[in-house]
Amino acid sequence: MTRISAQLSVYPLRQPRLSPAIDEAVQICRARGLKVRMGPMSTWVSGDDDNVFAALREAFRSAASAGEVVMVVTLSNACPASEPTTATTGD
């Protein structure tokens, strides 16, 4: 078992409402026991690699069942224990 983290964004295309597919993806990740942190542009999840990959596959299939969709995922095993931090500007 390897802990990994993933940052994912779900973009439903040509659908009258965007939030159902996004909300369902988040619920799927939670149901798989992943730690979930939602942001304004993406969702960060972490957990056992088998659960993360299974949740991503299920979330994509669920979103695709409602219509065309794009899912962007970034995976990491380098910082699975850390939560993302807010970026700061050089002001």
Q: What is the CATH number of the domain that holds 34?
A: 3.30.70.930
Cβ neighbourhood burial of 24 (10 Å; 0-12, 13-18, 19+):
middle
- How far apart are alpha carbons 30 and 37 in whole angstroms? 10
Domain assignment present for 80: no
pLDDT in tens, 27-81: 999 999 999 999 999 999 999 999 999 999 999 999 999 899 999 999 999 975 5
Q: What is the pLDDT of residue 80?
A: 56
Q: What is the pLDDT of residue 79?
A: 77
Domain assignment present for 86: no
pLDDT in tens, 11-42: 999 988 889 999 999 999 999 999 999 999 99
Q: Model-level pTM?
A: 0.82
Domain limits at 46?
3-75
Say how many domains are in the chain: 1
Domain assignment present for 61: yes
Domain assignment present for 81: no
